[in-house]
Structure formats: structure tokens, C-alpha cells
Structure 1
Amino acid sequence: MCGALWLALPLAVAEPRCATDDLGQEVCLDAPAQRIAALSPGATELVWSAGAGDRVVAVVAYSDYPPEARQVPSVGSHTRLDMERLLQLAPDLIIAWVTGNPSGQVATLRQMGLPVFAIEPRSFAAVSHTIKRLATLAGTEAEGFAEAERFAAGIAGLQAEFAAADPVPVFYQVWDAPLMTVNNDHLIGEMIRLCGGDNVFGELDRLVPRISVEAVVAANPEAILAGGMGEENRHWLTRWQAFPGITATARDNLFFIPPSLVQRPTPRMLQGTRLFCEKLEIARARR
């Protein structure tokens, strides 16, 4: 009996793993992934969340969380991959960013026969689903599924807490030059809605539209939230102090949000969403 069980173990470990990515393509591996390349900072976090951080052999620039990710070899930036270095690291699974990675380079990787799993979570539910799919491909379901459920439960709790919150007209600044925001279809747009915010640029067609300072002044948001270049850089908010006619400026509702907590589709968005909601509660109290 024991000998038969021992012989069966290698077969269980080598069981094929399949999942459908965000381009609708099924990716199948002959065995759980052992050498994973994550081609965006968000993808790196998600692989760790799925319980497979010890399998990551390649990351890109700004992959700084968790701290262990900083020790993994970099293969360029998410916009320009060092293909030679990436191939030297021999990944058996590549996690690509649908709209962030160079389409030509990603296509080349596929043509070479490398398994590429493309992701772009655009909802809280999709973040959980992505973690589960990555865990399936890595064979780390126990840890990955638990983390996905923890995140989903946390988001559900915030949704219940702020379901009846009074609306606050919000401008979220995603970039400074050019000035950029998000529409309602963006994951950050879902965050704004959950907290009772009314995205003043939510109806624009583009997911991440460019706008003008004049458009922000005309929209007259009650709260302005922004990140910046880095986790402690608040200078993007100083520009709005020159416009006292904006309600957000007049009431000092100019709030800094660490960008990695809201601009990466990872479980840390739970922390970022809680912070976002707290800022809007401050804005409500200042009415």
C-alpha cells in the first residue's frame, strides 16, 4: 500500500494544469509551473498572492512588493522587455499584462512556444479570479484560493459599510503630465463607486483619458485624490491649491493615496479602497 502510494505521487505532481486567460486563450501546462516570469509589478504581486512567489525567476522594473521580489532578476521594464535575459532564465510560464506589455514582444514569446498567460483584472471579482487561476497553474490552490476569498470577503464588507453613503463628486488623478484620470469602467472607477464617490469623468470613453486643468475646474469635484511618483510624493496635489474656486481646494479635500495600493490590481487594493473610503468620509464631514 505504501509503495503504491509512493509511486503515485510523481503522477499527481505532474498533473496537467489549464486555465483561460483574459484574452480568452486556454493555457495548459504539463505540470505545475516551477519557473514563472511576471512582466508587470501587478503580476508579480498576484503570483505571490497565489502562493507561488518562490517560483518567480523574472520580474520587471518597479516590482517592489513583496520585498522579496526586489531580489529577483529583472528583465527590463513592462514597456520594453530584455528578451535575451528573459529567455536565459528559462521560464515555464510567463504572466503578461494585456495592455501594458509590448504586443510584438509578447507575440514573439508565444511564437517561440512559451506558455504566456495574459491578465488584466478590471474588477474586484476579477482580481480574486486571477489569483485562483494563477494558483491553479502553479499548483498552489490551497494558499491562492484562501487569499482570493480573503480579498473578496474584505471587499464585500466595505461594500456593505458604504452602500448608503452620500455621494461625493471625485476627481482621481492617475498621472500628472499629461494630466490623466480613469473612467467608470476602470477598476479604480469601481473603487470610487464602492466608497460612494461620483467620478466626475466617469462617462468618458477611454479607460484612462487625458484631460485638461480647465476640465477639472469646470467639473468642480468635492474631493481630489492623487498618488504621485513614489509612495510618499504628494506634489501632484499642490497644483490644485492654486484653484480656490474648486470645492475640493476650498474645503482642503486634497488627499494623497499611495499609488501601489490603488493602481495595481492586487489584494492590496483592499487596503487602498479602505483608505479611499476614509478620505471620502472626511470630505463628507467637512460639508
Structure 2
Amino acid sequence: MTSFTVGSGARRIVSLTEEPTELLYLLGEEDRVVGITAYTERPPEAKRDKPVVSAFVGGSVERIRALEPDLVIGFSDVQADYARTLIHAGLPVLILNQRSLQDILDAMVIIGGVVGAAERARVLMEGYARRLEEAAERTAKRARRPRVYFEEWDDPMISCIRWVGELIELAGGENIFADRSLAAASKGRHVTVEDVRAANPEIILASWCGKPFDREAAEQRLGSDLDAFRAGRVHELPAEIILQPGPAALGDGLALLETLIGASPTG
């Protein structure tokens, strides 16, 4: 007689981005992760224990195939060509494209469901949702919101993606390019020196994905007379906690933004 089995979700997962890896570790499902991206920083033991098989927009198809994954998980349209290559190689691929904080919460539950842990993922995300709501309550009590410019890249100048902009608002700041944060593609978030100078941010936050922030170069480019430079309120944030659309941004990313935005000016 022909028989079939029903499994408990993907058992050999390659993560092309960091947030699925961190989530699976938080859920106690780290044994299902068999390969990771070179940009994985969280949790630190992942980079120690799991083989690196990709960058962000490319990697070794053969190394990935050799791991015999039953699922490859990636993020965003930026990985579309890479995902297409993997699909043509016969590999199963799941690409999520979370942009807002709500998208992140939903995406993490989807990934939990992929490994049969949707309920545990939902409970975990409920905890993060409460943190976001509590931050909103704290912000509602603020007398005013400082103007914040978040720079994701310097050339061309790119302002923050939607979830970062939402975190800035929850942390008590005013995202000076809130309308552009809603753009689906990074081109829609391009800004100019003139745009930034016209808004005269009181705080400048930066996380250049892939390279260190150069404060001196930024000051020369934007002008030392901006309120943020005059007050000494220019800060670099680790990419792994603010540009990772997963647990890191919802937890440590929000906490750091609240600290930086809520601090008293030094100048």
C-alpha cells in the first residue's frame, strides 16, 4: 500500500539573511539551520557553529546545494536575482519582504510556521509588540520630538527604510523624511544635501550597511553648522540591530534609539 508522511516543517534551512537565523535560535530551533550569510552577527554562536554560504546578494549555489536544504529563506527584492538563480538550480526558496514593523511581526510568525512553531513565534512576537506599544505610550508624554535624520548610505544619500522610520517615531523622534520611508524601493528614499540642510536635523543617526560610518566626511558633506553637529548628537548604530528586519530591530534597535533620542543635548 502506498503511504505518505506529514513532517514538522523544514528541517534543513539555509538563511540568506540574519533575522531567520536569530528567530530560529530564539525559538530553540537552531538545529534546523544548516547554512548562514556572512553578515550574521546574532546570535554570535551562529557564526561560530554554522557554515557561511552566502553574502547578501550572492553566494555559492554549489555550497548551498551540498547542504541539501529543504528550504532557503531570504529577504527583499534585492535578493530577487539570487533567489531566481537558486530556484533554477532546483532549490526551494522563500523570500519575505517586510518593510513595516507590522510586516516584521507577521513575517516572524510565518517563519515560525515553516518549522512548526507558529504558536511559539506568535507568543514571542506578542512580547515585542508590547514593547513597541509601551514605547509609543512613553513617547506620547514627551513635550516635543527632536528632528532626526537617519542615513542608510552616503553616496547616493539614502534615508531610512520604513521600519527604521517607525522606530524613530516610537522612540520619540521626528523622522524628517517620513514620507520617503514609505517608498518600496531604495531609490524613493534618496535625499540631497540640500534636503537635509533644509530640515536641519537635531540628531543624525547613521548605519551604512556594509561599511563604517565616517563622521568627519559626513560633517564636511552636510555642514558643521547643522544643529546635530553643533550639539554633538551624531551617532552610528550597528547595522545588525537596526537594519535587520527581525527580533534585533524590535528589541535592541528600539532600546538604543530611545536612549539616543531621549538623551539631553551636549552642546
Q: TM-score when scaled to structure 1?
A: 0.78
Answering whether residue 89 of structure 2 is matched by residue 98 of structure 1, we say no
SS for the counterpart of 2:149 is strand
Structure 2 equivalent of residue 123 of structure 1 = 100
Equivalent in 62, 74, 78 of residue 39 of structure 2: 62
Which residue of structure 1 aligns with residue 254 of structure 2?
273
* One-letter amino acid of the counterpart of residue 61, structure 2: M
Structure 1 residue 138 corresponds to structure 2 residue 119: no
Residue aligned with 1:174, SS: strand
Equivalent pair of 2:172/2:262 in contact (CA under 8 Å)? no
* Equivalent pair of 2:149/2:204 in contact (CA under 8 Å): yes
1:220 to 183, 192, 200: 200
Pair 1:188 & 2:168 matched: no
Q: CA deviation at 1:136?
A: 1.4
Structure 1 residue identity aligned to 2:157: L
* 1:262 and 2:238 correspond: no
Q: Does the 8 Å contact 2:203/2:234 carry over to 1?
A: yes
Larger Cα-atom Rg: 1
Q: Percent identical across equivalent pairs?
A: 27
Letter in 2 for 1:91: P
Q: How does 1:31-110 map to 2 (within 5 A)?
A: 31-70=8-47, 71-101=49-79, 103-110=80-87
Aligned-partner residue type, residue 66 of structure 2: Q
Q: 1:199 aligns with which of 175, 189, 196?
A: 175
C-alpha spacing 1:129/1:49, structure 2 compared with 1 (3 Å)? farther
Q: CA deviation at 1:266?
A: 1.6
Q: How many residue pairs are counted as aligned between the two chains? A: 255
Q: Which runs of no fewer than 5 residues in structure 1 stay unpaired?
A: 1-10, 16-29
Asked if the contact 2:65–2:91 (Cα under 8 Å) also holds between the matched residues in 1, the reply is no
**1:68 counterpart SS class:** helix
Name 1:159's counterpart in structure 2. Answer: 136
Distance 1:263 1:91, change over 3 A: same
**Aligned residues of 1:170 and 1:199 also touching (Cα < 8 A):** yes
Which amino acid is the alignment partner of residue 129 of structure 1? D
Q: Is the 8 A contact 1:50 1:141 kept in 2?
A: no
Deviation at 1:254, TM superposition (A): 1.2
Structure with a larger share of its residues in helix: 2
In structure 1, what residue type is equivalent to 2:39?
Answer: Y
